[in-house]
């Protein structure tokens, strides 16, 4: 009996590009992250002065809070879009959107206090001002992100054990990564200053953000590698006479 050979390759099912939006938590994190990204680009304070009819202060001006929320939103966006990350049961990964959302609320509150101080200063000089749509959107998106993160943590509370067990290498990697990221931010500011004058605030801020992302990741990666190497050097040696091999 002759068996017929088939040369047809198995056809994989088409990828569902809207998969992330079919799950409420992922969809909420994506929309909140988009709100943070848009809010970082919009005006945070608007007003007028006697010698300047329209004054705009953006999220990248002064302390650069908008740049911080932008970078954080890119991370939470990746968290929601990657199924493997969303399905993780590691405590740090599970609480990540909640932590970023709470951090965004703190940043929004501090930025609002600074805005009130600046607006009061404008009023003394005969001007006026108010908090604008960018800061409001950042605060609302941060709240939505925190709520979505809290729901995610609550749903997985029986599947995740939130305990922290760090080796010296882990601690060194965290400290080194933070130090490297800070160094990357400083380096990005210095590099942006070489190409754009700080007098051009909007152009300088845009150039700083473009350079900031790769410099931040490179600095964090290098710092984490160096920190882990140093931390591993402090790992306690096993007592003499002990053997790691089980019989």
Position 208 scores a pLDDT of 57
Which of 133, 164, 195 is the C-terminal boundary of a domain? Answer: 164
Mean of the per-residue pLDDT values of the chain? 78
What's the mean pLDDT in 23-38? 93
The residue out of 148, 164, 180 marking a domain boundary is 164
Structure confidence at residue 244 (pLDDT): 45
Percent pLDDT > 70 in the chain is 73
- Is there a single domain that holds both residue 134 and residue 174? no
Q: Between 1 and 217, name the one with better pLDDT.
A: 217
Asked if 68 and 91 sit in the same domain, the reply is: yes
Q: What is the per-residue pLDDT across 150-174, written as a single tens digit (0 to 9) for each?
A: 999 998 888 776 555 557 776 777 7
Q: Looking at the predicted structure, is the pLDDT value of residue 36 above 80?
A: yes
Looking at the structure, tell me whether residues 179 and 95 fall in a common domain.
no
SS (H, E, C) the chain: CCCCCCCCCCCCCCCCCCHHHHCHHHHHHHHHHHHHHHHHHCEEEEEEECCEEEEEEECCCCCCHHHHHHHHHHHHHHHHHCHHHHCCCCHHHHCHHHHHHHHHHHHHHHHHHHHHHHHHHHHHCCCEEEECHHHHHHHHHHHHHHHHHHHHHHHCCCCCCCCCCCCHHHHHHHHHHHHHHHHHHHHHHHHHHHHCCCCCHHHHHHHHHHHHHHHHHHHHHHHHHHHHHHHHCCCCCCCCCCCCCCC
Domain boundary pick from 164, 194, 225: 164
Q: What is the pTM of this model?
A: 0.66
Specify whether 69 is located in the same domain as 107: yes
Q: Is the pLDDT of residue 85 over 50?
A: yes
pLDDT tens-digit readout, 193-247:
665 555 555 545 555 556 666 776 787 778 878 887 887 776 655 555 544 444 3
**Domain shared by 171 and 157, yes or no:** no
Same domain, 29 and 126: yes
Q: State whether 171 and 158 are in the same domain.
A: no
- pLDDT of 3 strictly over 70: no
92 pLDDT more than 70: yes
Considering the domain architecture, whether residues 58 and 109 belong to the same structural domain is answered as yes
Q: Are residues 132 and 185 in the same domain?
A: no
């Amino acid at each position: 009996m002759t068996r017929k050979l088939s040369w047809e390759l198995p056809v994989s099912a088409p990828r569902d590009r809207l998969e992330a939006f079919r799950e409420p938590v992922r969809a909420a994190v994506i929309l909140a992250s988009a709100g943070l990204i848009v809010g970082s680009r919009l005006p945070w304070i608007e007003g007028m002065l006697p010698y300047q009819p329209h004054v705009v202060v953006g999220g990248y001006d002064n302390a650069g809070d908008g740049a911080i929320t932008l970078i954080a939103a890119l991370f939470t966006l990746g968290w929601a879009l990657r199924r493997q990350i969303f399905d993780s049961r590691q405590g740090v990964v599970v609480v990540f959107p909640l932590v970023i959302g709470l951090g965004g609320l703190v940043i929004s509150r501090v930025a609002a206090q600074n805005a009130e101080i600046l607006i009061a200063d404008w009023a003394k000089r005969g001007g006026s001002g108010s908090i604008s749509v960018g800061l409001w959107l950042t605060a609302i998106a941060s709240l939505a992100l925190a709520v979505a993160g809290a729901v995610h943590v609550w749903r997985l509370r029986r599947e995740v054990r939130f305990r922290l067990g760090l080796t010296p290498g882990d601690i060194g990697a965290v400290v080194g990564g933070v130090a490297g990221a800070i160094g990357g931010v400083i380096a990005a500011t210095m590099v942006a200053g070489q190409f754009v004058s700080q007098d051009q605030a909007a152009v300088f801020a845009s150039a700083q953000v473009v350079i900031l992302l790769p410099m931040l990741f490179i600095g964090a990666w290098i710092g984490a590698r160096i920190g882990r190497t140093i931390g591993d050097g402090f790992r306690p040696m096993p007592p003499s006479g002990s053997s790691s091999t089980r019989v």
